[in-house]
Amino acid sequence: MKVVKFGGSSLADAKHIKRVFDIVHSDNERRIIVVSAPGKRHENDTKVTDLLISCGLHAINNEDPSPYIEQVVARYKEIADDLILPPTIIETIQNDLLVRLAGDKNNPEQYLDCIKASGEDNHAKLVACYFQEQGVKAKYMNPREAGLIVSNEHGNAQVLPKSYEKLRRLRESCELIIFPGFFGYGQNGGIFTFSRSGSDVTGSILAYAVKADVYENFTDVDAVFSVNPTFVEQPKEIKELTYREMRELSYAGFTVLHEEALIPAIQAGIPVQIKNTNNPRARGTTILRTRENQNGPVVGIASATGFCSIYVSKYLLNREIGFGRKLYAILEEFGISYEHTPSGIDDVTVIIKENQLQEDEEEVLLKRLESELVADEVHIQHSLALIMVVGEGMRHNIGTMARAANALAKADVNIEMINQGSSEVSMMFAVKEVDEKKAVQALYEEFFAEVALPIG
């Protein structure tokens, strides 16, 4: 049995939905289909989810949302007309959106989650309608009816363990199930969304629940590439990855799979296959618990911008009991979570996402850290990029760090910081954002020299 998720680009228009139908119809093991909201049809297009966010924000601010309502309904109508679906499906979608917009705005986050979730929910209804029109026994499945219960965290919902027993019943369905991704229902009955691109998470949850043999994730690329293809021409495709490798790469900027999507699959040991909707015969990338290490120490290089570092120095810091607790307690008060914390005997650096720290809070935070920690020096460095070099093979190869550092030096890239995870599956380099592309290209040339074609 397979659970299959299709992303927004795979369901952007009628042509793609017909292709999805052919893919599903070609393999009777594909029994549960997770649907995203319609994505971009072309580079300058707008995703339905973004239109819905604008629609919800206008309504919250007591501004006229009707232009966005019209655009959303028009997207679905264009798809329905091209698929020659009965007009009742558009009436259903339009009425559903209007009911949501007329809801209680006293809790803006709850209201916006409800509006955003309509993208996946209504597209699942439309896709199910098309499958039915083609003579397939298909059923739209509402997450509440199925039993997908999540935590009451807006935009960051987490599945509750009790969901799995309820969702397991989906395995017994004699109909093809079309399931909307991206959201679940809280114990209070409200709608709560996962973080953006959370349909990947829904698919993984369902695969775990029904004990699927494989979780297929269809997107618009043939495979996971070893590096960002906008940085390097024709980068090497990765045939196999371990869960840990994919988690590290997703966290650091590989957008092909949501960084939280692997957690349920890891817990159940279910293989995940990344496939291309536009080229379904391509082998794709398989993500497994373990793999044969046949490609050297490094399997992939990822990068992400938008980070800053908070540096705290204090003489004899290593002798002070409770220093870390006090530091993190101050960050917690500011609602800041950290990414990495490399440290020395007299200093510690905390890397955070830059958007967590408002400009008017920065000076206040620095003063509190300096006074409450009695620090000798505190400062913030902005505009950092994190480069992650990932590979299970690094644990068994000597000199990988030296090779990476030497490659960056040759490319005239200054390393602001280095941190290697205790698992030895990844190493992190912080560099200035302006050096991100140059750093990635240098590392790629070092570890994948025979296929490296840097861009620019």
Q: Look at strands 377-390 and 300-313 and give their pairing.
A: antiparallel
Q: Does the annotation list 219 as a binding residue? A: yes
Q: Chain centroid to CA 181: how far?
A: 13
5 is in an annotated binding site: yes
Residue corresponding to tokens 């893919």: 23
Q: Is 49 annotated as a binding residue?
A: yes
What is the C-alpha to C-alpha distance for residues 59 and 56, in angstroms, rounded to an integer? 5
CB atoms within 10 A of CB 360: 7
- Would you say 7 is a known binding-site residue? yes
Q: How far apart are the first and last CA of the chain?
A: 45
CB atoms near residue 44 (< 10 Å): 6
Phi, psi of 388 (to 5 degrees): -110, 125
Any known ligand binding at 120? Answer: yes
Q: What count of other Cβ atoms lies within 10 Å of the Cβ of residue 146? A: 22
Q: Which amino acid is at 2?
A: K
412, 263 contact by CB (below 8 A): no
What is the three-class DSSP state of 181? coil
Q: Tell me the one-letter amino acid at 399.
A: G
Q: Which whole-number Å values give the CA distances from 42 to 47, 52, 206, 378, in the listed order?
A: 10, 18, 30, 46
CA angle 194, 310, 414 (to 5 degrees): 100
Identify residue 11 by its one-letter amino acid code: L
What sign has the CA pseudo-torsion 80, 81, 83, 89? positive
Tell me how far apart the alpha carbons of residues 16 and 405 are, in angstroms, rounded to a whole number.
Answer: 44
**Close Cβ partners of 91 (under 8 Å, ≥ 6 residues apart):** none
Annotated binding site for ATP: 5-8, 219-220
Binding residues for substrate: 49, 120
Binding site, by residue number, is 5-8, 49, 120, 219-220
